[in-house]
Amino acid sequence: MKLKWGLLCFLSVWLLLISGCTTKQEQAKMRYTEDGRIIVRVSMYNNSTYPQWRAYVEESCPDIFIKWENNRNSMANVLYQARHNDLADIIGIRRFETDTSAQLEPYLADLSQLELTHTFKQQYLEPFNKGAKQCWLPAPGVFDGLVANANLYARYGRELPRNWDSFLDSCAFWQSHQMDGFAMDCQEPWTPVQMIQGFGMEEYDRLPHGRVWLQSFANNTASSVDPALFSAIAEKLRVLKQRSILTQDDLNMNGAQKDLRLLARRAAIGRRTSDTFFAAAPTDHYVALPFFGRTEADNWLYTYPIFVLSVSQASQKDDLTRQAALKVLQVMLSERAQQLLNTNCEGLISYNKDIHLQLMSSMKFVQPLIEQQKYFIRLLNSNSFQASSLALRALIGQDADNQQFIKILNDNLFKVSPTKELGSSKLTASQFLDQDLCSASGSIIAQVLQEELGTSCALIDVREAPCAIYKGPLTNKDVESIVLPGKIYRGSLTGAQLTRLLGDCIWSATTFAPGNVEPLLEYPVLAGINARLQRDGTILQIKRADGQELETEKVYTLALSQNIYQALKNINEPLVQDFAAQEFNLRQCFTNWLKKNNSLPRPKIYFTYSDAGAVL
């Protein structure tokens, strides 16, 4: 009996070992392409920027297959993936957050001992480390700041401002000529942060605890703003309000409206970034300006890396994957790679010791500050955009005093939302488009939208499904990664109009707004209807989900997401003019469904093609 029992135990252990080996072999096999190249997953902040740079990285690593992924520029998405053991080998993010990066730290490799890391200027590594652990390395920095319309200044014989007082005088001059001295797109979420940090940069050096507080914020240890520092910043911004330089008009202005003012020469100074061209036409000439201090020596440039890169801890578990990931990282931040990133723009600023990138003539006015390394790196946490917007609106639009300004920042900048379980998912659904241009997670979200609004069908942009839906419990924090919070719209169209609108959506996937690096839509996701297409995107047939064809004259109700609605507005599609915004947004819609049903619908295929495997 003992012998039989011992033999049984031996066989059980042996079977477990064999199955474990098989699993490891299968996992290892998944790491290689059919032609034997090791696969390195690279998650970038979008799908479409820097094609020359991407091509160079691939060409420089011929023995490696780089699988490009899109994290939608959300550190919350990256953290969500990390917690579900689905983190890419290399992560590139543009909107770097101090609090989310602290939570990500256990999932990231320490890059401090790399030879590559020692090529950086130390002060520009500090915002991206956690104690002695260097988690992130910065790609070249983008100048994000003020630009002056040089044509206007030349026409009126005016010199460019060089300090705070001459900036105020300049604005007063343009106001006397019925023009904006200063036009800011404060409706964009990042601009209020820039106004508060940019105009506050000299205060960080001037006040005793300025740099100390900044360091605490960068380290994610600050729990409130420094009263003296932010009172000084509020006073500086209040001068702009009192002199009608920063107004309610600026608070309500978006990027497109600001650009139109600059192009029409109705504004002398506005906001631009140097990773695109300042001028839309050869006749327009702009000059980059600093954020002004009391004297010229107090001026600073406001910058941030076009992206920062990290390497996952999981990629370090075996030598081959580790070496491949580090090789790709080395190429990504090499001098040649940075030069390619610097093409087709006004000019980037390298944070490396011995790399000097070419700048367009428009950057010459601020070149001395670059040479003196007087450029500040933007600091954000996950609440910065909203908190800064609320504080700036209160100060400029509601005459908030310094205490109120500081209280708004403290109440909003450091708040932590509690985590609550809302429901669960019975499956894992990828956010990526498959070979038929269908998204599993996008399909689930579109179905939820259709059901919640009680419409015949629904359309969202696949970018509004920014992350996978993982099997298991779903919390409110998970939902923040799974679905964007954009507005939703409801309206009615005939079958013929619905066909036309869907065609517009597909066309918008190849249409770019001026100055944008991403198309109006990545690709539409459908619920309640299915479309049969040609390879070029031409619609051959649309059917309802029950298989019935759309009737040309019959009226159907339709739900649209914000991205879809805005894309159609941008191409001046009149079909959406009668669509009405709903009280709740897409994320709230998803949350409501999950709370009520405690589960999610299964994804559906909504595109088919006239020939197999069609891809546009």
How confident is residue 10, by pLDDT bands cut at 50, 70 and 90?
very low
Given a cut of 80, is residue 615 above it in pLDDT?
no
| Mean pLDDT (the chain, rounded) | 91
Q: At how many degrees (to 10) do helices 402-413 and 227-242 cross?
A: 120
- In this predicted model, which residue has the larger pLDDT, 105 or 263? 105
Q: Is 472 helix (H, G, I), strand (E, B) or coil?
A: strand
CB neighbours of residue 511 within 10 Å: 14
Q: What is the predicted pLDDT for the residue at 515?
A: 61
For the whole prediction, is pTM greater than 0.85? yes
How confident is residue 4, by pLDDT bands cut at 50, 70 and 90?
very low
Helices (H), 177-278: 190-198, 201-206, 210-218, 227-242, 248-251, 255-263
* Distance (Å, whole) CA 246 – CA 186: 10
Q: Structural domain boundaries of the chain?
A: 25-141+307-349, 142-304+359-413, 421-609
Given a cut of 50, is residue 463 above it in pLDDT?
yes
How confident is residue 28, by pLDDT bands cut at 50, 70 and 90?
low
Q: What is the predicted pLDDT for the residue at 611?
A: 67
Residue 370 CB partners (closer than 8 Å, separation 6+): 301, 349, 359, 363
* Mean pLDDT, range 562-583, rounded to an integer: 95
How confident is residue 512, by pLDDT bands cut at 50, 70 and 90?
confident
Q: What is the predicted pLDDT for the residue at 141?
A: 97
Residue range 231-259, pLDDT digits in tens:
999 999 999 999 999 999 999 999 989 98
Would you say the CATH fold of 142-304+359-413 matches that of 25-141+307-349?
A: yes
Strands 141-149 and 269-273, bridge-based pairing: antiparallel
Strands 269-273 and 90-93, bridge-based pairing: unpaired
Residue range 539-553, pLDDT digits in tens:
999 999 999 999 999
Q: Is 421 helix (H, G, I), strand (E, B) or coil?
A: strand
Q: What is the predicted pLDDT for the residue at 610?
A: 86
Amino acid identity for residue 366 in this structure: V
* Distance (Å, whole) CA 135 – CA 487: 35
Of residues 560, 526, 544, the one with CA closest to residue 436: 526
Residue range 40-66, pLDDT digits in tens:
999 999 877 799 999 999 999 999 999
How confident is residue 24, by pLDDT bands cut at 50, 70 and 90?
very low
Share of the chain above pLDDT 90, in %: 85
CATH of 25-141+307-349 given 2.60.40.420, 3.40.190.10, 3.40.640.10, 1.10.260.40? 3.40.190.10
Residue range 130-143, pLDDT digits in tens:
888 999 999 999 99
- In this predicted model, which residue has the larger pLDDT, 3 or 508? 508
The label of the residue with tokens 């739900």 reads 559
Q: What is the predicted pLDDT for the residue at 281?
A: 74
| Angle CA 487–488–491, to nearest 5 | 145
Determine contact, residues 107/89, Cβ cutoff 8 Å: no
Topology (CATH level 3) of domain 142-304+359-413: D-Maltodextrin-Binding Protein; domain 2 (3.40.190)
How confident is residue 18, by pLDDT bands cut at 50, 70 and 90?
very low
Strands 133-134 and 129-130, bridge-based pairing: antiparallel
* Mean pLDDT, range 11-31, rounded to an integer: 46
Given a cut of 80, is residue 282 above it in pLDDT?
no
Given a cut of 60, is residue 17 above it in pLDDT?
no
CATH number for the region 421-609 comes to 3.90.780.10
* Distance (Å, whole) CA 62 – CA 175: 58
Amino acid identity for residue 140 in this structure: P
Which of 444-453 are b and which e, b meaning 16 or more Cβ less than 10 Å from the residue's Cβ? bbbbbbbbbb
How confident is residue 286, by pLDDT bands cut at 50, 70 and 90?
very high
Which of 355-384 are b and which e, b meaning 16 or more Cβ less than 10 Å from the residue's Cβ? bebebeebbebbeebbeeebbbbbbbbbbb
Given a cut of 50, is residue 19 above it in pLDDT?
no
Q: What is the predicted pLDDT for the residue at 30?
A: 67
